[in-house]
Amino acid sequence: MIHKKKKELRKKVQELRDAIDLEQRKALSAHVAENLWSIPEFAAAKTVLFFISFRSEVDTVPMIRRALSEDKVVCVPCTNDGDKSMVASRILDLEADLEMGNYDILEPRKGCLRPVNAEEIDVVLMPGVAFDLTGGRLGYGGGYYDRFLERCNPRCALIAVAFEIQIVGHVPCADHDAHIHKVVTEARVIDCGDGCRPS
């Protein structure tokens, strides 16, 4: 039942997000970035795991450029499709270090892999399709982040970046689903409190 609910919600919200035209997406993403940098734990973070946006997601590329210019240790995911695992790899140069990887998402080139221990990461920027006010997150169904977060330090802040249209009344969530601490949209920063409600 929960799988069916997730599938229906995923389809509905992705269609809404896909309907945002490119210019508007860029403008909204810039507002998301400003709100992200206003969060004290993000501004103070030394090591951040960014996701590299694809399709109609919030554009994280300008955020990555800014973080690199501020001398943060910037990591991006490197996925293993075989065992559905993920490692964080440091990037130094956005263009030179990346190539097209799994799911047509940019990932570190083989010669540019610089693994970073998950426990060293201060902030993980979480991708997703839909989020709710209690930190419920609907991902893409691969479980990569859920498994990766088990190795992170408990003090690591989990911050999602999303468009306002991705905020829904309730995300169906199971016990193993990661709880987001904050969700940042173009309009606000949502503090998610104590955790999502199991469905």
> Domain of 167: which CATH number?
3.40.50.10420
Give the number of other Cβ atoms within 10 Å of residue 66's Cβ: 14
Residue 196 lies in a domain: no
Residue 78 lies in a domain: yes
Residue 85 lies in a domain: yes
* Strand-pair partners of 190: 183
Cβ-count burial of 94 within 10 angstroms (0-12 exposed, 13-18 middle, 19+ buried)? Answer: middle
pLDDT per residue as tens digits for the range 46-97: 999 999 999 999 999 999 999 999 999 999 999 887 887 899 999 999 989 9
Residue 147 lies in a domain: yes
Per the structure, the complete domain to which residue 176 belongs is given by 2-191
Count: domains in the chain: 1
Residue 142 lies in a domain: yes
How does strand 157-161 pair with strand 182-184?
parallel
Q: Please state, in angstroms and as integers, the Cα–Cα distance from residue 191 to each residue in 30, 40, 162, 187, following that order.
A: 20, 13, 14, 13
The rounded distance, in Å, linking the Cα atoms of 155 and 175 is 20
pLDDT per residue as tens digits for the range 13-57: 999 999 999 999 999 999 999 999 999 999 999 999 999 999 999
What are the tokens at 137? 């997150």
Residue 25 lies in a domain: yes
Which residue's entry shows tokens 């997730």?
6
CA-only gyration radius of the chain, Å: 16
What are the tokens at 35? 């709100």
pLDDT given at position 129:
96
The rounded distance, in Å, linking the Cα atoms of 61 and 94 is 8
Cβ-count burial of 78 within 10 angstroms (0-12 exposed, 13-18 middle, 19+ buried)? Answer: buried
Residue 199 lies in a domain: no
